[in-house]
């Protein structure tokens, strides 16, 4: 009799995988511990997309699956049953809510623009649609570097004339007009078609070189003089001027951080642009100069100022220093976080910080793989890097982070261009020679979150106890729809049963294949 019920369960719960436009697979030599490596090729005529969710019936739930061996955000339809098929129960409790989600996104760097320009118009349009358009992974954030960073083809600022404290010679550059602004506007238009607004935020990697004690944007160093002196005021005016110039072109920003990875500026031999700020210096600059300057302009008065913009290890100290000063804290809306030390530093400090300062949000603002000097920069089809992304996003979201922003939207086949050869991997890799692009497994890992966890969803309570299986869950603003993202890093399949405390007498029985992800959606 038991065998009959198991057979009935299989037929009742597992349907064929479907996809509106399936992945056009291209296989590669496996690396980094993978057994299989493939990506999805897109060109002017074809690209895979995500099958729309549509209306979910009251007795049903939907899963989107990606796996090392076969799948890329492919849809499976299930039905709830009156019994679990396993003792592995994943309990969901939407009565316990946590942070509100802001969204997900990537960065419109000069390098991303170079690669977009290298493709034909139909292919670049299709690429941007994969991030921002219908049936895409639905990005709502874009990070835009202020002037040059390592992912530029040269070192430049907007005020390269030494001693120009009045910024008479301030000007945007060809990179802005050719590599950023056209694609920002295109992304904005795509998001607007979906009834939303694209949130842009920025940071500078360095002040113009003549403002630093080193005399160069490249390498570490700090601004000349006292924190509230004329160099700090000039840099605040430089920031404000950047926003005003973009505003004239019809582009407004949502947020800013005072400096990218400010602790990197301690190294005088740093390989690319950097500038040092300590937590105390950032506090004093915000309260004495930067905050009042930005709040004093109609263009910048509503900008979200985010402190830190550095690795996990700076928290909670960085927040404690700035938020304990009410004159600084009143200008600050949130905190920014990078991922480059996450393999070595626990997320506990992040959870402690978000819990301690619930009125200040924390946004993860930069991540990429392939950055260690001993590893290959671009690994086509590598699943391990997708797992790294997924696990980090889950850890951050469980720790109170409100969103997660990837680094370059697109790079070339060697992970650039980058003017100091700091090449890395990206979710999409362009191949201008054949006018195609490759969607890496990382793209789909990001999509398991960004395509389904919409802005204003709230994280809810999840209880699970499975080896190398991680999960995080959310509820829609209306309290009805639930979204559960599960990651299985085991080689073997894992079965579990979802039990929603709102209706605890029904179960969603799910098989999570070895080395796979599932995003599971249902309504109450």
Q: Which residue, 216, 12, 202, 7, is CA-closest to 105?
A: 202
Q: Is the dihedral of CA 326, 327, 329, 333 positive or negative?
A: positive
Confidence of residue 357 (pLDDT cuts 50, 70, 90): very high
Dist. CA 109–CA 180, nearest whole Å: 7
Distance of alpha carbon 229 from the chain centroid: 35
> Is 90 exceeded by the pLDDT of residue 11?
no
Cβ proximity of 425 and 375 under 8 Å: no
For residues 257 and 200, the answer to whether their CB atoms sit within 8 Å is no
Grade residue 22 by pLDDT with cuts at 50, 70 and 90.
very high
Q: Report pTM.
A: 0.96
- Taking Cα atoms as reference points, which of 149, 203, 212, 205 lies closest to residue 175? 149
25-to-28, 185, 192 alpha-carbon distances in Å? 10, 31, 31
Closest CA to 160 of 173, 149, 150, 151: 173
Residue 165 has pLDDT above 60, yes or no: yes
φ, ψ of residue 211 in degrees (nearest 5) = -85, -10
Q: List, for residues 400-448, the tens digit of each pLDDT value.
A: 999 999 999 999 999 999 999 999 999 999 999 999 999 999 999 999 9
Going from the C-alpha of 301 to that of each of 200, 334, 456, the distances in angstroms are 15, 15, 23
Catalytic residue IDs: 261, 366
Look at residue 32 in the predicted model and tell me its pLDDT. 87
Count helices and strands in the chain by DSSP H and E runs: 13, 21
- Per-residue model confidence as pLDDT tens digits over 471-503: 999 999 999 999 999 999 999 999 999 999 999
What is the rounded distance in angstroms from the CA atom of residue 65 to the CA atom of residue 63? Answer: 6
Q: Given a cut of 70, is residue 6 above it in pLDDT?
A: no
The pLDDT of residue 134: 94
Q: Which long-range contacts (CB under 8 A, 24 or more apart) does 473-482 make?
A: 473/92, 474/101, 475/94, 475/97, 479/94, 479/524, 480/523, 480/524, 481/56, 481/521, 481/522, 481/523, 481/524, 482/92, 482/94, 482/521, 482/522, 482/523, 482/524
Q: What confidence score (pLDDT) does residue 4 get?
A: 30
Q: What is the mean pLDDT of the chain?
A: 95
The HSE-up count of residue 9 (CA atoms within 13 Å, CB side) is 19
Question: Strands 516-523 and 60-67: what pairing?
Answer: antiparallel
pLDDT on residue 20: 75
Q: Residue 465: what are its φ and ψ, rounded to 5°? A: -145, 80
For residue 327, give both structure tokens: 């004159």
The whole-angstrom separation of Cα 87 and Cα 84 is 7
- How large is the average pLDDT for residues 232-259? 98
Could you please report the per-residue DSSP string of 367-384?
--SS-STTS-S--TT-HH
Alpha-carbon gap, residue 326 to 321, rounded angstroms: 10
Closest CA to 451 of 108, 64, 106, 152: 64
Domains of the chain and CATH, by start: 2-100+459-523 (2.60.40.1180), 103-455 (3.20.20.80)
Backbone phi and psi for residue 65, each to the nearest 5 degrees, phi listed first: -120, 140
**pLDDT tens, residue by residue, 113-128:** 999 999 999 999 999 9
Could you give the C-alpha distances from 459 to 394, 397, 524, in angstroms and in order?
A: 11, 8, 16
């Amino acid at each position: 009799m038991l065998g009959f019920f198991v057979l009935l369960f299989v037929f009742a719960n597992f349907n064929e995988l479907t996809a509106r436009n399936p992945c056009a697979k291209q296989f590669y030599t496996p690396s980094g511990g993978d057994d299989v490596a493939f990506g999805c090729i897109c060109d002017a005529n074809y690209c895979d997309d995500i099958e729309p969710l549509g209306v979910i019936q009251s007795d049903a739930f939907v899963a989107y699956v990606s796996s090392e061996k076969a799948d890329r955000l492919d849809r499976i339809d299930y039905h709830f049953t009156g019994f679990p098929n396993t003792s592995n129960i994943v309990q969901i409790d939407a009565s316990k809510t946590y942070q509100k989600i802001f969204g997900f996104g990537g960065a419109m760097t000069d390098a991303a623009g170079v690669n977009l320009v290298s493709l034909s118009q139909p292919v670049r349009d299709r690429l941007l649609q994969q991030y921002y358009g219908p049936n895409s992974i639905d990005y709502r954030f874009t990070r835009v570097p202020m002037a040059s960073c390592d992912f530029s083809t040269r070192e430049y600022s907007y005020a390269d004339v030494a001693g120009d404290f009045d910024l008479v010679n301030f000007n945007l550059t060809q990179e802005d007009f050719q590599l950023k602004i056209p694609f920002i506007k295109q992304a904005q238009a795509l998001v607007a078609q979906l009834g939303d607004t694209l949130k842009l935020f920025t940071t500078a990697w360095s002040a113009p070189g003549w403002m630093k004690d080193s005399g160069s944007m490249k390498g570490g160093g700090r601004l000349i003089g006292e924190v509230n002196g004329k160099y700090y005021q000039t840099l605040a005016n430089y920031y404000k001027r950047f926003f005003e110039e973009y505003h004239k072109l019809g582009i407004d920003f949502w947020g800013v951080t005072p400096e990218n990875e400010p602790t990197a500026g301690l190294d005088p031999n740093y390989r690319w642009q950097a500038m040092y700020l300590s937590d105390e210096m950032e506090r004093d600059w915000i309260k004495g100069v930067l905050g009042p300057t930005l709040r004093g302009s109609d263009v910048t008065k509503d900008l979200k100022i985010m402190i830190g913009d550095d690795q996990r290890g700076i928290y909670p100290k960085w927040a404690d220093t700035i938020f304990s000063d009410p004159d600084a804290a009143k200008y600050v809306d949130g905190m920014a976080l990078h991922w480059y030390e996450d393999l070595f530093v626990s997320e506990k400090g992040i959870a402690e910080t978000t819990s301690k300062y619930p009125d200040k949000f924390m946004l993860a603002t930069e991540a990429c793989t392939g950055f260690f000097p001993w590893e290959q920069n671009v690994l086509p089809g590598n699943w391990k890097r997708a797992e790294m992304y997924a696990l980090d996003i889950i850890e951050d979201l469980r720790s109170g982070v409100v969103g997660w922003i990837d680094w370059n939207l697109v790079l070339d086949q060697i992970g650039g261009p980058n003017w100091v050869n700091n090449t890395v991997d990206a979710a999409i890799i362009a191949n201008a020679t054949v006018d195609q692009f490759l969607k890496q497994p990382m793209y789909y890992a990001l999509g398991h979150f960004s395509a389904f966890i919409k802005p204003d969803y709230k994280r809810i309570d999840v209880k699970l106890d499975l080896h190398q299986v991680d999960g995080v869950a959310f509820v829609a603003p209306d309290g009805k729809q639930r979204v559960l993202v599960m990651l299985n890093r085991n080689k073997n399949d894992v079965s579990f049963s979802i039990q929603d405390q709102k209706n605890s007498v029904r179960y969603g029985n799910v098989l999570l294949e070895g080395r796979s992800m599932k995003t599971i959606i249902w309504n109450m």
